[in-house]
Amino acid sequence: MSYIIFAIPVFFLLITLELIFDRLKRTEYYRFNDAITNLSCGLGQQVIGVFLKTFILFGYIFLYENFRIYDVPSNIWTWIALFIGVDFFYYWFHRLAHEISFLWGTHVVHHQSEEYNLTVALRQSWVQAAFSWVFYLPLALIGFDPLIFVSINSLQTLYQFWIHTKAIDKLPAPLEYVFNTPSHHRVHHAVNPQYIDKNHGGTLIIFDRMFGTFAPETDPVVYGITSQAKSWNPLWLNLDYWVWLFSEVNKASKWSDKVKMLIKEPGWRPEELGGPLTPGEVSVASFRKYDTTIPMGLNYYVLLQYIIVTVGATLFLTINSQFDLLIKSVIAFMVIISLINLGGIFESKRWVLYLEVLRLVVLTAMLPLLMPQWVLGALASALMVFSLVWFLQYRNQFSVSYSGTAA
Binned at pLDDT 50, 70 and 90, residue 309 comes out as: very high
Residues 146/152, Cβ–Cβ less than 8 Å: no
In angstroms, rounded to a whole number, what is the distance separating the alpha carbons of residues 361 and 389?
11
Domain assignment of residue 129, yes or no: yes
Q: What is the DSSP string of 345-392?
A: HHTT-HHHHHHHHHHHHHHHHHHHHHSSSHHHHHHHHHHHHHHHHHHH
pLDDT digits (tens, 9 = 90+) for 312-360: 999 999 888 888 999 999 999 999 999 999 999 999 999 999 999 999 9
Residues 117 and 10 in one domain: yes
Helices (H), 73-195: 76-99, 101-104, 118-121, 129-132, 137-142, 146-159, 173-178, 182-188
Residues 203 and 244 in one domain: no
Secondary structure class of 179 (helix, strand, coil): strand
Percent over 70 (pLDDT), the chain: 97
Residues 26 and 64 in one domain: yes
Q: Give the pLDDT confidence score for residue 407 in this predicted structure.
A: 31
Residues 153 and 300 in one domain: no
Residues 65 and 116 in one domain: yes
Residues 254 and 355 in one domain: no
Using N-to-C axis directions, what is the helix angle for 76-99 and 146-159, rounded to 10°?
60
Per mean pLDDT, which range of 9-13, 293-297, 402-406 is the poorest? 402-406
Residues 205 and 160 in one domain: yes
Query: Domain span at residue 155?
Result: 2-211
Q: Give the pLDDT confidence score for residue 79 in this predicted structure.
A: 96
- State the sign of the Cα–Cα–Cα–Cα dihedral 224, 228, 232, 235: negative
Binned at pLDDT 50, 70 and 90, residue 372 comes out as: confident
pLDDT digits (tens, 9 = 90+) for 117-175: 999 999 999 999 999 999 999 999 999 999 999 999 999 999 999 999 999 999 999 99
Residues 112/224, Cβ–Cβ less than 8 Å: yes
Domain assignment of residue 123, yes or no: yes
Domain end marker among 196, 211, 226: 211
260 Cβ partners below 8 Å, 6+ apart?
Answer: 268, 270
Residues 269 and 300 in one domain: no
Domain assignment of residue 290, yes or no: no
Domain end marker among 158, 191, 211: 211
Residues 340/360, Cβ–Cβ less than 8 Å: no
Binned at pLDDT 50, 70 and 90, residue 2 comes out as: low
Residues 207 and 245 in one domain: no
Residue 271 in this model has a pLDDT that exceeds 70: yes
Domain assignment of residue 407, yes or no: no
Number of domains in the chain: 3
Phi, psi (deg, nearest 5) at residue 349 = -70, 140
Residues 89 and 159 in one domain: yes
Domain assignment of residue 383, yes or no: yes
pLDDT digits (tens, 9 = 90+) for 43-96: 999 999 999 887 788 899 999 999 999 999 999 999 999 999 999 999 999 999
Residues 40 and 183 in one domain: yes
In angstroms, rounded to a whole number, what is the distance separating the alpha carbons of residues 35 and 119?
6
For residue 39, which of 161, 202, 141, 218 has the smallest C-alpha distance?
161
Residues 177/201, Cβ–Cβ less than 8 Å: no
Domain assignment of residue 219, yes or no: no
In angstroms, rounded to a whole number, what is the distance separating the alpha carbons of residues 14 and 321?
29
For residue 115, which of 166, 162, 161 has the smallest C-alpha distance?
166
Q: Give the pLDDT confidence score for residue 57 in this predicted structure.
A: 87
Q: Distance of CA 313 to CAs 27, 52, 126, 305, 319, Å?
A: 31, 16, 15, 12, 10
More confident residue, 182 or 403: 182
Domain assignment of residue 224, yes or no: no
Residues 6 and 131 in one domain: yes
Helices (H), 320-349: 325-346
In angstroms, rounded to a whole number, what is the distance separating the alpha carbons of residues 402 and 404?
6
In angstroms, rounded to a whole number, what is the distance separating the alpha carbons of residues 43 and 303?
14
* Angle at alpha carbon of residue 332, lines to 301 and 366, rounded to 5°: 70
Binned at pLDDT 50, 70 and 90, residue 8 comes out as: confident
Domain assignment of residue 281, yes or no: no
